[in-house]
Amino acid sequence: MSRPPAGCAKEIRTEAEGPVGLITLNRPSVLNALNHPLMEGLVGALEDFERAPSIGCIIITGNAKAFAAGADIKEMDHATTAEISRDPHLSRWDRVGKCAKPVIAAVSGFALGGGCELALACDMIVASETAVFGQPEINIGVMPGAGGTQRLTRILGKTRAMEMVLTGKRMTAREALAAGLVNRVVPVESYLEQAKKLAHEIAAQPPMAVRMAKEAVLKALDVDLDAGLALERRLFYSLFDTGDQKEGMRAFIEKREPKFTGK
- What does the binding site for ligand HXC look like in residue numbers (CB under 6 A)? 30-31, 33, 69-74, 89-90, 110, 112-114, 136-137, 140, 145-146
Smallest separation (angstroms) from ligand HXC to the CB of 148: 7
Question: Which is closer to ligand HXC, CB of 15 or CB of 87?
Answer: 87
Question: Which is closer to ligand HXC, CB of 27 or CB of 196?
Answer: 27
3-state secondary structure (DSSP) of residue 133: strand
Smallest separation (angstroms) from ligand HXC to the CB of 187: 21
3-state secondary structure (DSSP) of residue 119: helix
Q: Judge residue 166's burial from the number of C-beta atoms within 10 Å of its C-beta, 0-12 exposed, 13-18 middle, 19 or more buried.
A: exposed
**Of these residues, 41, 114, 115, 134, which one is catalytic?**
114
To the query of whether residue 114 is one of the catalytic residues in this protein, the response is yes
Question: Which is closer to ligand HXC, CB of 72 or CB of 123?
Answer: 72
Question: Which is closer to ligand HXC, CB of 33 or CB of 104?
Answer: 33
**Of these residues, 71, 119, 161, 199, which one is catalytic?**
71
Look at phi and psi of residue 177 and say left if phi exceeds 0, alpha if psi is from -120 to 50, else beta. alpha
Smallest separation (angstroms) from ligand HXC to the CB of 2: 24
Question: Which is closer to ligand HXC, CB of 140 or CB of 217?
Answer: 140
To the query of whether residue 71 is one of the catalytic residues in this protein, the response is yes
Say how far apart CA 95 and CA 203 lie, in whole Å.
Answer: 21
**Of these residues, 9, 117, 134, 209, which one is catalytic?**
117
Nearest one of 172, 173, 153, 175 to 163, comparing CA atoms:
153
Give the other-Cβ count within 10 Å of 126's Cβ: 28
Q: How many CA atoms lie within 13 A of 90 on its CB side?
A: 12
Smallest separation (angstroms) from ligand HXC to the CB of 259: 44
To the query of whether residue 137 is one of the catalytic residues in this protein, the response is yes
Query: What contacts 145, CB < 8 A, 6 or more positions away?
Result: 71, 90, 114, 137
Smallest separation (angstroms) from ligand HXC to the CB of 161: 16
> Do the Cβ atoms of 216 and 228 come closer than 8 Å?
yes
State the catalytic residues. Answer: 71, 114, 117, 137
